[in-house]
Amino acid sequence: MGKICAIFGGSRGIGKAVAELLAQKGCRLAIIARNLEVAQTTARDLGGHLALSCDVSSEQEVQKTFEEMQRNLGPINYLVNAAGINRDGLLLRTKTEDMITQIHTNLLGTMLTCKAAVKVMIQQQGGAIVNIGSIVGLKGNSGQSVYSATKAGLVGFSRSLAKEVAKKQIRVNVVAPGFIHTEMTAHLEEDQLKKSILLGRFGEPHEVAQAVVFLLESPYVTGSVLVVDGGLQLMT
Catalytic site residues? 147
Helices (H), 77-126: 96-102, 109-124
Distances (CA, A) of 224 to 91, 176, 214: 29, 10, 12
Q: How far is the CB of 82 from ligand NDP (least distance, A)?
A: 4
Q: Which 3 state secondary structure label does DSSP give 107?
A: helix
Q: How far is the CB of 7 from ligand NDP (least distance, A)?
A: 9
- DSSP code per residue over 174-210: EEEE-SBSSGGGTTS-HHHHGGGSTTSS-B-HHHHHH
Q: Across-strand partners of 52?
A: 32
Q: How far is the CB of 126 from ligand NDP (least distance, A)?
A: 25
Nearer to ligand NDP, 122 or 193 (CB): 193
**Contact residues for 167 (Cβ-Cβ < 8 A; gap 6+):** none
Nearer to ligand NDP, 97 or 183 (CB): 183
Chain positions contacting ligand NDP, by CB under 6 A: 8-9, 11-15, 33-35, 38, 54-57, 82-85, 105, 109, 132, 134, 177, 179-180, 182-185
**Contact residues for 168 (Cβ-Cβ < 8 A; gap 6+):** 118, 121, 122, 125, 126
Nearer to ligand NDP, 38 or 73 (CB): 38
Torsion of CA 156, 157, 158, 159, to 10 degrees: 50
Q: How far is the CB of 181 from ligand NDP (least distance, A)?
A: 7
Nearer to ligand NDP, 50 or 54 (CB): 54
Q: How far is the CB of 25 from ligand NDP (least distance, A)?
A: 20
State the SS3 of 204-228: CHHHHHHHHHHHHHCCCCCCCEEEE
Nearer to ligand NDP, 35 or 160 (CB): 35
